[in-house]
A and B are shown apart, each in its own frame.
Chain A
Amino acid sequence: MRWIARRHGRDGLPFTINRRRIYIVPTRFGIALALLLVAMLIAGLNYNSNLGLGFGFLMTSLALVAMHHCHRNLLGLRVDVGGEADAFAGGTARFDFTLHNDAVIERCDIEIHCGDGTATTSVAPQGYAKASVDLGMSRRGIARHPRFELRTRYPFGWFRAWTYVQCPLTIFVAPDPRGNLPVPAAAAGSGHASRSERRGEEDFAGLRAYEAGVPLKHMAWKVLARGGEPAVRSYTGLAGRPEWLDWSTLEGLDAEARLSQLCRWVIEGEVARHPYGLRILGAEIPPSLGAAHRLACLRTLAAYGGGSAP
């Protein structure tokens, strides 16, 4: 593996598979077929049968042509994938691969292998196909796959051609959101009410321009349906006093339990549309809201301790 990595260097995306990068070996059935072909040859020679020999040679050539077709099935394929994904511990991370086929033939049965996740897809002539690979994540941290692999056994399963794409895939595995402690009063500030009460304060305040990451339920669909610009309903009460989700308030718990609790608070804060900031050892994210903020918080939690997940 290491010499392959050294040989190829790091690949940029989208990656076009060239012939120097395709490896091919016979499968178990291919080896069995090879033995069969040898048996055919010996039988043909022994019985001095020209037809038998001819048939044996036809099968041999068939296998050789199949080898070329198997190799070709990957050749020139263009593959693209987002290099990062997010997951919660105990959940799955999903990578969406896109395979582009510029050729005029169909690419059948392309398998994508990444870690222990696989996906199989076929790509139409001069078309593209999407395939998702789901990876099970058991522990918090940052998981890295230095490469992924495209494989094919098409057409007859006698050969297996594959290529390694040396493009690291990174997965930020946030802690499993657990723990049901309330947000500490000290951190939330005085005069703080329960979440349900606060949600009552969310009053419609008017429309503002759409920006990416806004929850769908806040979209002003009627405005859009009337043919207007995409707009978002905004509410008052959202910008109440920001909460600080603070590592140091969770004394008496071990590190992973604290991270799990913080993670849960982050998710709840986002659902409740109440601005929140995160403060853990070595990192501080000022209070805000939105998908990007949430992602930053979760990734900070995932990266805590600098540890990488297996």
Chain B
Amino acid sequence: MNALKARATGSGAPGSGAPRDRVTFEQLSWISACLGLTLLAHVTTLPVWVTATVVACAVLRLALAARGRDAPPRAIRLTLSALAIGLLFLQLRTFNGLSAGTALLGLIAGLKLLETRKRRDIYVITMIIYFLSLAALLQGESFWLLSYLVGVCWLTTSTLLRLTNAAHSIHRRTSVRYAGRILAQALPLAVAFWLFFPRFGGPLWQLPDNGHGATSGLSDTMSPGDITDLAMSDEVAFRVRFSGPTPPLEERYWRGPVLHDFDGHAWHRTGPVHAPGLLFRGPAYHYTVSLEPNQHNWIFVLDWPSESNAARGFLTSDYMLVQPSPILQPLDVTATSYAHAPAADPLSATMRARDTHLLAGRNPRSVRLAHEMRDAHPEALDYVHAVLQMFREQPFFYTLTPPLLGAEPVDEFLFGSKRGFCGHYASAFATLMRAAGIPARVVTGYQGGTYNRFADYWIVRQSDAHAWDEVWIEGQGWLRVDPTSMIAPERVEHGLNDIVSPGHELTSRWQQRTPWLTDTRLRLDALQLLWRQRILGFDQNSQEKLLGLLHVPEPDGQKLAIALAVCLILGMSWLTWSVRRELHVRPADPVSRAYDRLCRRLAAVGLPRMPQEGAEAFAARVAAQRPDLAPSIIALCRCYTQLRYARDPTRDAAAAFVSAVRAFRPRGSRASS
């Protein structure tokens, strides 16, 4: 009786679910690591204290788990959660939008980690990790970010695998490998989805977004020295591909913000005023600008732009190409520009007033100098040349590290330091023009660019940032004047990096001295452009082209949906087949494979090999049941045995066996046996 009633020791006593549901230290640490790696992708945009809270929660929970203790009491957890989420709301004022939502999700994941007791909680965290990865990709755009996040997702999935594995029988490495295989099988289907899922042009609805990444590149104010910071940056501002002729270097001025208002120190941009139209002359240049997101709403175009295909872009009266919303996504714009653009009408009085305005009493010495020189040169164009000549002949130096200027920066620059960067020269020149009554404005943008000979396009980097002037000459219209080129002509000819004084370290300086590295960088950049255009810029048009490639007549959204459905069906069938095939991987050895085939063929005619039968025994039984097959089957099986057990079976013997099996086609069925 005791023997029968003895306590069961089976692997699954009823109701044994509860203890195995408890999370272990190992599971906790892995999921914490995955969460940490995901948040790493957000670390620049998350409020610092949110990151700190998540880290603190993870450390606290792990410390408790290491001592075998459970989550902290409910009251503490609730208080902490309410406090943290309340604080976040106070800081952000909203939970709507990407950055706010990301911060909230990250915080929730951390707090969830603190209260994790059962496997269920970890499942919730994995979901948050997946969504946080997506959120990072909505903001980011690089291939490396995608690879990194797919890697994190892989790790998370393998953690999930071990979490589901109740018996804890799976080794860490096995789980990573298995999750990787599942991910690899998912890849073709994902690509099909991605290619054929219909894209819509714009957003489904507009989400508010605050603090969406930092702005980069030129801004709509310029004080002397601003551009110095940009000159250090190797970051790509945009890339340009010309279709047709490429303008010479001295014409390659990429027009950005045009600045009209000068407060004696910095230049600002205010709303546009009506300006005369332009008559476009000279050679026309057609090109496509691929802009990196810069959080500003202007699009850099070649001087002087006449038209563009920017969907919501328009040309302002001072010939900036502007779109109403900031550029948050990589943007491709095709535009046409002309080398010369004389004005069609005279300058309006308001415009003239604005572009000759100087604050009274600022930079008095410069104003006096302007009056003196203007008296000597009554012709406006002569005066412009005289000022330029002054820059060329007097000891003006061009440097990336100019001395700091005080309250009257133009005076101090012209009469004191005489050392400056393009911003200083543009500012001083415009001041001298305005003081003499000639309308002048500062234009910021980029000049030059690096030609990528591997893929025929130009790379314009932040270090190509430049500032120049435009002056109004009666009868000719706005004329571009680049005073910086007077001081250091090489600067205009070769770009910034070559004229930096030798003591100054620039990252790309040594890179440019090693040609192979430059080449590698150019090739990488070409790949990046390809990535941008093919992957990031994949849209409705690309899909229509794709359908065209597949010889689908008159591609449209409906045909796209059909293509998606076909892909889905094919993909699922392939998946079913490939997943089941893994159950019975055929042996790699050709002899074993041939023997398997032999057995399959005999099984098909009603003579399956019994599991306990060796080759010889099987042959004997077959020979007894089917005398007609006897000679061949006995020979084949003997050959197989020899191949298996002989000391040195030759390759020819193996090949002969394989071909003999291939030729062996038993006929007949059960009936004949």
Contact = CB atoms under 8 A, between A and B. Distances in A.
A43 B13 CA distance: 45
B582 A105 contact: yes
B140 A118 contact: no
B170 interface: yes
B14 A156 contact: no
A49 B138 contact: yes
Interface in A109-155: 109, 111-112, 116-122, 131-136, 153-155
Contacts of A56: 134
B10 A132 contact: yes
A309 interface: no
Contact of A43 (B12, B134, B190, B538): B134
Interface string A199-241: 0000000000000000000000000000000000000000000
Main SS at interface, chain A:
mixed
Given A56-B134, A60-B190, A72 B10 contact: no
Contacts of A36: 127, 130-131
A51 B182 contact: no
B134 A55 contact: yes
Contacts of B580: 72, 75
A86 B1 CA distance: 12
Interface stretch (B157-165, B429-437, B467-475, B476-484): B157-165
Interface stretch (A7-15, A87-95, A246-254): A87-95
Contact of B11 (A86, A121, A136): A121
A104 B581 CA distance: 10
Contacts of A72: 579-580, 582-583
A55 B139 CA distance: 13
Contacts of A86: 4
Interface residues of B, number: 73
Given A47-B98, A105-B582, A62 B164 contact: no
A112 B536 contact: no
Interface in B104-149: 123, 127, 130-131, 133-135, 137-138, 140-141, 145-146, 149
B138 A120 contact: no
A61 B14 contact: no
Given A57-B194, A65-B185, A134 B10 contact: yes
B202 interface: yes
A113 to B, nearest CB: 9
Nearest to A96: B10
A280 interface: no
A36 B126 CA distance: 11
B530 to A, nearest CB: 14
Given A49-B138, A56-B134, A92-B8, A108 B205 contact: no
A131 B11 contact: yes
Contacts of A275: none
Contacts of A64: 186, 189, 572, 575
A122 B167 contact: yes
A49 B194 contact: no
A136 B14 contact: yes
Interface string B160-180: 110111110110000000110
B127 A94 contact: no
A53 interface: yes
Nearest to B198: A45
Contact of B12 (A53, A92, A112): A112
B8 A94 contact: yes
B203 A47 contact: yes
A29 B185 CA distance: 22
Interface string B1-29: 10011001011111011000000000000
A157 B138 contact: no
Contact of A53 (B140, B167, B197): B197
State the 9 A-B residue pairs at the shortest beta-carbon distance, nearest first: A119-B12, A132-B10, A61-B186, A57-B193, A134-B8, A61-B189, A103-B583, A157-B164, A61-B190
Interface of B: 1, 4-5, 8, 10-14, 16-17, 98, 123, 127, 130-131, 133-135, 137-138, 140-141, 145-146, 149-150, 153, 157, 160-161, 163-167, 169-170, 178-179, 182-183, 185-187, 189-190, 193-194, 197, 199-205, 207, 329, 535-538, 571-572, 575-576, 579-580, 582-585
5 contacts: A32-B123, A32-B127, A72-B580, A120-B167, A121-B11
Interface of A: 29, 32-33, 36, 39-40, 42-62, 64-66, 68-69, 71-72, 75-76, 86-88, 91-92, 94, 102-105, 108-109, 111-112, 116-122, 131-136, 153-157, 177, 267
